[in-house]
Amino acid sequence: MTYTATLTGKQQLTIPADLFRRLNWKIGQKVLISQNGSVLSVTAALDLIDRLAGSVPLPKKFKGLTIDQIIDRATSENHSK
């Protein structure tokens, strides 16, 4: 199914409500956006993590943290480099 979405002046994309509900997304949820030419793909971050679970060892510094805490910490560490 194809949907029409709107790009805002703040460079944000509004996801149609019906699609948002069908995907069972939640406000504030992390998503990954990838580009292939002019095509963008949006994937729920937790879906990717579930698919990768067990394939990569978790660094000790992230043990005991929630996925949101891991993402926030990794992001801040990468932005400080």
The angle formed by the CA atoms of residues 28, 22 and 47, to the nearest 5 degrees, is: 60
Is 44 inside any structural domain? yes
Look up the pTM and report it: 0.53
Confidence check: pLDDT of 69 > 80:
yes
Average pLDDT over residues 58-75: 86
| Token duo for residue 8 | 């805002």
**pLDDT, tens only, 10-59:** 999 898 999 999 989 889 888 888 899 999 888 887 766 666 667 778 78
Is 1 inside any structural domain? no
When divided into structural domains, the chain yields a total of 1
* Structural domain range at position 17: 6-79
SS (H, E, C) 15-58: CCHHHHHHCCCCCCCCEEEEEECCEEEEEEHHHHHHHHCCCCCC
